[in-house]
């Protein structure tokens, strides 16, 4: 099952800062364990995983050896039904991530879900070809021309989406409805990129400690419903998952 892969962006360091043994919400339909990698190439103002994104914070947490994670997954195998890898942005770890996922699949036979911002099409292409990932959860941040507001390049995201459309049954798109970044015109501009997929989740923005530190009022239920109605009208073949209630 070995696959060729691009080099890791970081050498001689471990990539895991956190582990949650049991989760009922991170893997749709499955009890899962969650693995948290650190560092991120985006700076989303609504991000609440500051301890995994900001160097001045994640350096205060001990690294967790991958071997310990594998042993714990094996111990939990009779109870958990899947493994989630999230971050930060896991794909920044390149070949190390791919080798780690391969090790999980070979040693536990558990399905793996990967959370990603889709900014690393080279790594995603290899993961698609390998068949190692059971579910890709892709976060869409805002309309293409506004991706620079989170430090992103939508052309790279677009390339990833085009590849992921080859396996739409293994993809869930997600939009966190943060008012400064997601408005109706942003949803409209994302429609061509959502087309061809099977599922999109509208997620509620929950105000707590975030990267921006700004006080932002979440949308009302009516606004979330208007987003949902709009997507259903434009793309009736796409299942809209409500995570805003």
Residue 178: which residues within 8 A CB-CB, separation 6 or more?
A: 44, 45, 46, 205, 216
User: Residue 209 pLDDT more than 90?
Assistant: no
Closest CA to 128 of 157, 165, 156, 89: 165
Above pLDDT 70, what percent of the chain?
95
In a domain, 52, yes or no: yes
Segment 214-232 mean pLDDT? 96
Segment 100-125 mean pLDDT? 98
In a domain, 238, yes or no: no
pLDDT digits (tens, 9 = 90+) for 13-28: 799 999 999 999 999 9
In a domain, 159, yes or no: yes
pLDDT band at 11 (very low <50, low <70, confident <90, very high): very low
In a domain, 94, yes or no: yes
pTM, full prediction: 0.93
Predicted confidence at residue 1, as pLDDT, reads: 37
Work out how many domains the chain is built from and give that number. Answer: 1
Predicted confidence at residue 213, as pLDDT, reads: 87
Any alpha helices (H) in the chain, and if so which ranges? Answer: 50-53, 55-58, 66-76, 94-108, 121-130, 154-164, 184-194, 221-234
Above pLDDT 90, what percent of the chain?
91
What are the C-alpha distances in Å from 6 to residues 41, 73, 114? Answer: 17, 26, 18
Query: In whole numbers, what is the pLDDT of the chain averaged over residues?
Result: 94
Domain that holds residue 154: 16-169+203-213
In a domain, 239, yes or no: no
pLDDT band at 12 (very low <50, low <70, confident <90, very high): low
pLDDT digits (tens, 9 = 90+) for 47-80: 999 999 999 999 999 999 999 999 999 999 999 9
In a domain, 180, yes or no: no
pLDDT digits (tens, 9 = 90+) for 93-102: 999 999 999 9
Predicted confidence at residue 77, as pLDDT, reads: 93
Work out the number of other CB atoms within 10 angstroms of the CB of residue 111. Answer: 18
In a domain, 102, yes or no: yes
In a domain, 192, yes or no: no
What's the CATH number where 109 sits?
A: 3.20.20.70
């Amino acid at each position: 099952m070995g696959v060729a892969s691009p080099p890791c962006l970081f050498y001689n360091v471990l990539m895991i800062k956190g582990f949650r043994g049991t989760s009922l919400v991170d893997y749709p339909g499955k009890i899962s364990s969650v693995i948290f990698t650190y560092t991120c190439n985006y700076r989303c103002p609504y991000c609440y995983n500051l301890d995994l994104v900001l160097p001045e914070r994640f350096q205060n947490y001990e690294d967790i050896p991958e071997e310990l994670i594998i042993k714990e997954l094996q111990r939990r195998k009779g109870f958990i039904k899947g493994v989630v890898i999230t971050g930060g942005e896991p794909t920044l770890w390149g070949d190390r991530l791919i080798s780690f996922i391969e090790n999980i699949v070979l040693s536990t036979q558990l399905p793996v879900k990967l959370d990603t911002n889709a900014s690393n099409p080279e790594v995603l292409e290899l993961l698609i070809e390998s068949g190692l990932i059971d579910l890709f959860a892709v976060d869409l941040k805002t309309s293409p021309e506004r991706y620079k507001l989170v430090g992103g390049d939508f052309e790279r995201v677009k390339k990833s989406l085009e590849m992921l459309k080859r396996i739409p049954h293994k993809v869930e798109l997600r939009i966190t409805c943060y008012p400064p970044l997601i408005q109706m015109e942003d949803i409209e501009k994302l429609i061509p990129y959502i087309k061809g997929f099977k599922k999109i989740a509208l997620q509620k923005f929950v105000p707590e400690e975030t990267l921006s530190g700004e006080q932002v009022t979440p949308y009302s239920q009516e606004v979330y419903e208007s987003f949902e109605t709009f997507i259903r009208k434009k793309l009736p073949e796409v299942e809209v998952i409500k995570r805003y209630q």
